[in-house]
Structure 1
Amino acid sequence: MSGIFGGGASASTTAPSTTGDTSKDVEVPQSQLPEDSISDLMFNPTNDCLAVASWDKKVRIYEMANTGPAGKWLFACKNVALCCAWSKDGLRLAAGDSDGFINIVDFSTSPATGEVTPLQFKAHEQAVKCIRWFQTGGKDYLATGSWDKTVKYWDLQTANPVATLQCAERVYSMDVKDHLLVVATAERHIHMVNLNDPSKIYKTITSPLKWQTRVVSCFADASGFAVGSIEGRCAIQYVEDKDTSLNFSFKCHRQQDPANRDIAKVYSVNAISFHPQHGTFSTAGSDGTFHFWDKDAKHRLKGYPEVGGSITATGFSRNGDIFAYAISYDWSKGFAGNNPTYPTKLKLHPVVGDECKPRPGSKKR
């Protein structure tokens, strides 16, 4: 990938510095960007393609070529594309939209490039907010989480779900790693599901954070998950009771008032992504910054300068050498807060040197 980033020079050669460098970040050309806010993104697990879902009702797939990121495919959903996810083999992409439809494209049978037509079917009575693929019993399944307070599982062989999970409230965020499914709902409920027994909730907790949950993301080793709230906090939470002593939360995405150190402006944590190899993670927020953290050392590895707008979605590439982040309006101030001049950008940050590596001596979990 060094061709994209001009040789892959170290982002910071001074080891003690925790200030990151975004000067080498590559931007997707304006002509290939969505026409509205970016709601979700995910790298393909088997190649260097990036899927991006947008409020303009479209999902775009970019290829990471030596000359830079280039638009490769595009498909339209029934309505606002709220989420997207690749299958484990990297051949299928699913997206959920605000009309409750699932939109699926099989790229093994699609043209080499251009606009493609998805398979579409009504999955939920309300918006599909979250979507994830998983495998159990040697088969691929799709999990969809909705504002209708259900998670449904699909084998895509029939028009009906193979099982439905009734949740405590509307599904706001959801993630899968191996056999762990974590579902975060309204009213701060968090459900944990063992996907070997997907029709049952293994455990339910109330979020350790006092304000509305914005995002959940599973650890790289599936032993737990991180939670981000609208009130500039992140929590590290383990699944099993034996590990509760390892749970903790911390403040992030806050700006100190220069005139009064006792006052801080608080921003939402919009996205949390775990590095696929190191087990470290990123947070990104409405303050327009992103940070890399080592949860085991309880230490911030790098913090990056403000990027010019709210960061709405993030993700690491399959090898962890690229960190993608989307800049766009995050709807935190409602319809009235949006305006035509608010930026929509998609940037790729080269992960180099020790940016995402755990601190020496910290135990990787």
Structure 2
Amino acid sequence: MAFNRNGPLPASSLGSFSKDVTLPADAEDTISSISWSPAANYLAAGSWDGKVRIYDVKSNGTAQGVAMLSAEGPVFDCDWAKDGTMVLAAGADRKIHLLHAATGQQAVIGAHERPVRGARFVEVPGSGAPIVASGSWDGTVKFWDMRQQGAAAATLVCGERVYAMDAQERLLVAATADRRIHLVDLQNPAALLRSQDSPLKHQTTKVAVFPDGKGWATASIEGRCGVNALDERDASKTNFTFRCHRETAPPNPPTNHVRAPPATTTTNVYALTDVRFHPHPRHAHTFATAGSDGTYSFWDRAGHMRLKGFAAPFAEKDPITAAAFSRADGGAAYAYATGYDWSRGHAGNSPKVQTRLMLHWVAEEEVSPQRRG
């Protein structure tokens, strides 16, 4: 099945969400970011209510809140330290917050001049300590040494607002409002490796770096996703874009006119709200997209195939606002949040749109390409 397929999915590629479970729905506003600990099945969910809630997710699908980080404004992004001891959060209050998960102790290690859209723990060779990277609407990416609170260790000027950021291994990717993609080799975070135009024509919503750091995916508001290789020599075999999260409406019904107008079809285009790669090496080419249409899909980037598509689990088709594969258990679970994403402005908001935190247990066949001999 090609990537650019629109309309209803055939039964063979439909996944089942019948066993998806609802986790504690105690966020008071839309959940903007989800991150799993690499060390245990702890899930962090950052919300527009200014909180990051930490849940201990059990194998039976139940979850219990164990800690909470409080910011002074909406949280836009959160991330776990590699050893699972700390949670990072940033957002509208411009500050970089840290939470020690075991003790509940909080600290602020720095701040930008404008709201912060992306934040990640990164590994910089030779630094001798965990480093935090943050991308802001002030047009910069800053690196923070947690031993030296208050002053950034390095600052990169991106020229426009940072709308999305991610990092894995040696690669950090920051996408800006002018549809530029800025690449940073974390062996030299004091300089940009290179900058290039986004492969997509409209505003970037998310970027996700391959688990091995050798490429990245770009998502946008136009119902399209792009995949790019870091090494430009691999571009011909890796780079492509594809359409997704689109819905083809049926043709207009006939009228009673003597001469009915020709039938037309309408394609509804939805924003991609998240894109994430599967963390297990066995599924290195598998990734997931989630959208404002209330659906999520698993894809095979090497085979250019949609593996499974999951229709909206609720009749209201509430937008999915954030999603992520679990990490400590090798991607056995896929968490996603539903809520209003403001894609239709104030008039589109409704009390019927509920903020939920959901969990899908990932079956092996849902993320494994069915190779044909």
Same fold, judged at TM 0.5 (above): yes
Work out whether residues 76 and 117 of structure 1, in 8 Å CA contact, stay in contact via their aligned partners in 2: no
Q: Give unpaired runs (5+ residues) of structure 1.
A: 1-15, 111-115
Q: Show CA shifts across 1:42-76 (max 9, x none).
A: 00011000000000111100101245112111121
Alignment of 1:236-315 (within 5 A): 236-245=227-236, 246-259=238-251, 262-277=265-280, 278-279=283-284, 280-307=286-313, 308-315=317-324
- Of 340, 347, 362, the match for 1:329: 340
Q: Aligned letter for 2:14? A: T
Q: SS of the residue aligned with 2:350?
A: coil
Work out whether residues 59 and 76 of structure 1, in 8 Å CA contact, stay in contact via their aligned partners in 2: yes
Q: Name the structure 2 match of 1:223.
A: 214
Work out whether residues 109 and 146 of structure 2, in 8 Å CA contact, stay in contact via their aligned partners in 1: no
Alignment of 1:1-365 (within 5 A): 17-30=12-25, 33-67=26-60, 68-108=62-102, 110=103, 116-136=104-124, 137=126, 138-158=128-148, 159-245=150-236, 246-259=238-251, 262-277=265-280, 278-279=283-284, 280-307=286-313, 308-318=317-327, 319-360=330-371
1:261 CA displacement: 6.6
Q: SS of the residue aligned with 1:17?
A: helix
1:139 CA displacement: 2.7
Distance, in Å, in 2 between the alignment partners of 1:44 and 1:285 is 23
Q: Aligned letter for 2:120? A: R
Distance, in Å, in 2 between the alignment partners of 1:330 and 1:243 is 36
Greater mean deviation of Cα atoms: 212-221 or 40-49: 212-221
1:262 CA displacement: 4.3
1:127 CA displacement: 0.5
TM normalised by structure 1 equals: 0.89
TM normalised by structure 2 equals: 0.88
Q: Name the structure 2 match of 1:9.
A: none
Greater mean deviation of Cα atoms: 270-279 or 60-69: 60-69
Q: Name the structure 1 match of 2:256.
A: none
Q: SS of the residue aligned with 2:178?
A: helix
With over 3 angstroms needed to count, the CA separation of the structure-2 counterparts of 1:337 and 1:120, relative to structure 1, is: farther
Q: Show CA shifts across 1:134-173 (max 9, x none).
A: 1122431000110000010001112201000101310010
Q: Aligned letter for 2:301? A: K
Q: Show CA shifts across 1:149-202 (max 9, x none).
A: 001000111220100010131001001010100001101000011000011111
Q: SS of the residue aligned with 1:119?
A: strand
Aligned Cα RMSD in Å?
1.7
Larger radius of gyration: 2
Work out whether residues 41 and 51 of structure 1, in 8 Å CA contact, stay in contact via their aligned partners in 2: yes
Work out whether residues 294 and 359 of structure 1, in 8 Å CA contact, stay in contact via their aligned partners in 2: no
With over 3 angstroms needed to count, the CA separation of the structure-2 counterparts of 1:72 and 1:131, relative to structure 1, is: same
Q: SS of the residue aligned with 1:125?
A: coil
1:352 CA displacement: 1.1
Distance, in Å, in 2 between the alignment partners of 1:336 and 1:257 is 22
Distance, in Å, in 2 between the alignment partners of 1:106 and 1:206 is 38
Q: Show CA shifts across 1:258-303 (max 9, x none).
A: 1167421000011001001112000000000000000000000000
Q: SS of the residue aligned with 1:187?
A: coil
Distance, in Å, in 2 between the alignment partners of 1:117 and 1:106 is 5
Runs of 4+ in 1 over 4 A off after TM superposition: none
Q: SS of the residue aligned with 1:354?
A: helix
Distance, in Å, in 1 between the alignment partners of 2:59 and 2:75 is 29
1:335 CA displacement: 3.5
1:315 CA displacement: 0.4
Distance, in Å, in 1 between the alignment partners of 2:224 and 2:233 is 24
Q: Aligned letter for 2:324? A: G
Distance, in Å, in 1 between the alignment partners of 2:274 and 2:107 is 28
Greater mean deviation of Cα atoms: 328-337 or 195-204: 328-337
